[in-house]
Amino acid sequence: MVVDCWREDPCTVLHVVGDLDVAGAPRLRAELEQALAAPGPPNLVVDLTEVPFCDSVGLGVLVAAYNMIQNMNGRMILVVAPGMIRHLLTITHLDRHFETSDSLNAARAALGSAA
C-alpha cells in the first residue's frame, strides 16, 4: 500500500493506493495520526478510489479516524468509486456516518464551502 499525503488549504488530502487490509492498514493509520496531530479541527479528504479491497482491519482504521475527527470537531470525506469500498460502507451501514464524495475535486470543494 502507498499513501501520499499533502496539505491543500483548507484540507489535508490522503491518496491511498492498494489493499486496505491487515498488511496495509498500519501505513494508513500512521498517516492519519500524523495528519490529526496538526493544530485545530482537522479537515481530511481520504481518496480511496484506488483501493480495490478493504478488510475489517482497514475498516477499523477508518472508523477510528472518523471518531477522532468527530471528537475534534473536524470533518473527513471519503472519496469512493463504485465498487467494493462503496458496497462495504453500504452493507455495514457506515454510509450513514461517513461523508462520501465521488471525486477529489468535489470533496475539496465541500470542505472549502464549509470553511
pLDDT tens digit string along 39-75? 888 999 999 999 999 999 999 999 999 999 999 999 9
Q: How many residues does the chain have?
A: 115
Helices (H), the chain: 25-36, 56-71, 84-91, 104-114
If pLDDT is split at 50, 70 and 90, which confidence band does 22 have? very high
Write out the three cell numbers for 51.
483501493
If pLDDT is split at 50, 70 and 90, which confidence band does 8 have? confident
What is the average pLDDT across 9-20?
94
Q: Return the domain boundaries, the chain.
A: 2-102
Q: What is the pLDDT of residue 115?
A: 43
What is the topology classification, in CATH, of domain 2-102? Transcription Regulator spoIIAA (3.30.750)
- pLDDT: which is higher, 32 or 10: 32
Question: pTM of the entire structure?
Answer: 0.94
Single out the residue of 55, 52, 42 nearest to residue 14, CA to CA.
Answer: 42
What is the average pLDDT across 67-92?
95
If pLDDT is split at 50, 70 and 90, which confidence band does 113 have? low
- In this structure, which amino acid lies at residue 101? S
Q: Which of 6-10, 60-64, 72-76, 107-111 has the lowest mean pLDDT?
A: 6-10
